[in-house]
Amino acid sequence: MTIRGAVWRSFYQDSMALMRLAAELRECPGVRQAAALMGTPANHRLIADAGLARPELEGAAAGDLMLAVEASDEQAAEEALAAARRFFEERRRERETAGRASPRTLASALRELPGANLAVVSVPGPHVKLEALGALRHGLHVFVFSDNVPLEDEIELKGFAASRRLLCMGPDCGTAYLGGVGLGFANVVPRGRIGCVAAAGTGLQAVASHLAALGEGISHAIGVGGRDLSEPVGGRMTRLALELLASDPATRVIVLISKPPAPSVMAELDVVISAIAKPVVVCCLGASPAAGHAVATLEDAAGAAVALARGSPWRPRAFSDPVAARARLSSLPGASPRGDHLLGLYTGGTLAHEARLLLEPHLGPIATESVGAERAGHRILDLGADQFTQGRPHPMLDPSERAARVREAGQRADVGVLLVDLVLGRAVHPDPARALAAAVSGARADAAAAGRSLVVVGSVVGTTGDPQDLDAQRAVLESAGILVFPSNAQASRFAASLVEPEASKILLGADS
């Protein structure tokens, strides 16, 4: 084995391009592993952790591309590096053929599109403030997809935006819909009469998808980023977004979706919500709002909103089909011993949070950190969190990190139940089910070979309009033995029932 490294100076590439390049390099003959990363400190650590550190990579800076290849011999490594050169050469030719000579700055882009009214920003976190502030100064609203943005930058951006009544959606805003156009990771949903404000990206995707399944659509959905309702940011954009939807003639019912706001911010929101003349469904997962129609899950948020829009009765249910859920529980083989613990491996942060809230009353405290993952206990990881996404694409774009962790779970005797999500939509990976299903099949086979069983429970966030084909993705998961439920809440409750017999009595009325 030999390791070769190369640095291309001042050659910034986004994480999607680097993910594709690394995948191509790994396919080259004789290549055992390959990395293509910008030279940030975090990426230098990743290279070192992978055992790919080389002296020639040491001086690489954040704007320099690092290539590292471990191959069977010198020639194979050299050919992989040549393949990287061809990769970028082909991309350049493709762009030239398509006539896509892109401007290099916001100012020159504005000369090309003088009527621009929105900037979508997904540059690395430390660079967000400069780009977003530039856009706001030109009177554009901004949608900031990037995470790893310093908190003080967010406060400054939102303060400036609010002073001009401009929307600053994000940082860390995964999804929004404005006038029927989806931004970021967006499921294909019809336009309709439900307006959303979301400090929770996959939470919004889940609610929008449930609404579509129930035959309702979105007027506008304004993402504000996961930290908007924290004490320091103070809910600045949430308040503006609620105000806009309250006066929007297309919006009949408003849904607010978030993780628990800071108590002082929740109190302020209660005042704002109680002054709104339209019905407001409040889904602040884990908080107890005093105003509006409070619901406990994302699925319930959609159900309550539809009922309010239609003036029909509604009540929350643990399972949409409890008979089928009981039948599933009793059909699971009891012969093989199963580990005692649950492991949740999520790509959607809100979904991970919702699962933990639903499971803890039945299973006790659930850890959310990967540190000390070797220690036994229930655990739910959000693989889209900042700590997992430095220098790599979000797990909804690149399913490989989650797949690797699913495979590891198959080796662990303490893990008996695996809980997963699968999120579809525009800009998401074109076929995320395949990677997850392959990993689950492998993990279940590993467990079976060791005389154990591993039960995998999950749900899919998606609509029939999504490019990935919702039914086909679900079928791929089911063919790998994953028990797929209509919502994350139902999947979580079923997982609780598997781990804790008492939970199955409470949730399913089951005997065991």
Partner 1 sequence: MSAETPLDQALQVINIGLEVFARELEAEGVAVVHVDWQPPAGGADVAALLARLDGD
Q: Which of 303, 300, 424 has the alpha carbon at shortest distance from 357?
A: 300
Beta-ladder partners of 141: 118
Stretch that binds partner 1, among 10-18, 376-384, 409-417, 473-481 (CB under 8 A): 10-18
- How far is the C-alpha of 88 from the C-alpha of 255, rounded, in Å? 44
Tell me how far apart the alpha carbons of residues 115 and 107 are, in angstroms, rounded to a whole number: 13
Q: Which of residues 427-446 bind partner 1 (CB under 8 A)?
A: 427
The least CB distance from residue 103 to partner 1, in Å, is 6
Please select the residue that binds partner 1; options are 134, 190, 279, 286, rule is CB under 8 A: 134
Q: Which residues on neighbouring strands pair with residue 177, listed in sequence order?
A: 182, 221
How many residues at the interface with partner 1, by CB under 8 A? 62
Phi, psi of 223 (to 5 degrees): -80, 145
Residue 392 within binding range of partner 1, rule CB under 8 A: no
**Which one among 41, 51, 59, 139 touches partner 1, defined by CB under 8 A?**
139
Distance between CA atoms of residues 399 and 395, nearest Å: 5
- Smallest gap from residue 145 Cβ to partner 1 (A): 7
Quick count: other Cβ atoms within 10 Å of Cβ 265? 24
Q: How far is the CB of 220 from partner 1 (least distance, A)?
A: 5
| Chain Cα centroid distance, residue 116 | 28
Compute the half-sphere exposure of residue 55: CA atoms within 13 Å on the CB side of its CA.
Answer: 0
**Smallest distance from partner 1 to CB 105, Å:** 7
The region of 115-123, 351-359, 409-417, 440-448 touching partner 1 under the rule CB under 8 A is 115-123
149 binds partner 1 (CB under 8 A): no
Q: Under the criterion CB under 8 A, does residue 109 sit at the interface with partner 1?
A: yes
Residue identified by tokens 């979580």 is 492
Give the residue with the Cβ less far from partner 1, 114 or 333: 114
Q: How far is the CB of 240 from partner 1 (least distance, A)?
A: 9
Element (H, E) at 219: strand 218-223
Q: Does 10 bind partner 1 (CB under 8 A)?
A: yes
User: Binding residue for partner 1 (CB under 8 A) from 141, 227, 402, 452?
Assistant: 141
Q: Do residues 281 and 193 lie in contact, with contact meaning Cβ atoms separated by under 8 Å?
A: no
- State the Cα–Cα distance between residues 320 and 324, nearest whole angstrom: 9
> How crowded is residue 80: how many other Cβ atoms within 10 Å of its Cβ?
25
Q: Which is nearer to partner 1, 121 or 199 (CB)?
A: 121
* Contact of 383 with 351, CB cutoff 8 Å: no
Residues 204-223 that bind partner 1 (CB under 8 A): 219-220
The stretch among 77-85, 164-172, 360-368, 403-411 that binds partner 1 (CB under 8 A) is 164-172
For partner 1, the closer CB: 124 or 223: 124
Query: Would you say 91 or 310 has its CB closer to partner 1?
Result: 91
When binding is defined by CB under 8 A, the residue of 118, 246, 309, 367 that contacts partner 1 is 118
Strand 191-198 versus strand 253-258 pairing type: parallel
The yes or no reply on residue 482 touching partner 1 (CB under 8 A) is: no
Distance CA 47, CA 481 (A): 35
Distance, in Å, from the CA atom of 233 to the CA atom of 240, rounded to the nearest integer, reads 13
C-alpha span between 57 and 67 (Å, rounded): 8
Q: Considering the complex, what minimum distance in angstroms separates the CB of residue 25 from partner 1?
A: 20
Q: Would you count residue 30 as binding partner 1 (CB under 8 A)?
A: no
In 393-495, DSSP assigns E strands to 415-423, 455-461, 483-485
Is residue 291 part of the contact set for partner 1 (CB under 8 A)? no
Q: Which parts of this chain interact with partner 1 (CB under 8 A)?
A: 10, 12, 14-17, 62-63, 100, 102-107, 109-110, 112-113, 115-124, 126-127, 129-131, 134-135, 137, 139-141, 145-146, 164-167, 178-179, 181-184, 186, 219-220, 244-245, 248, 250, 397, 426-427
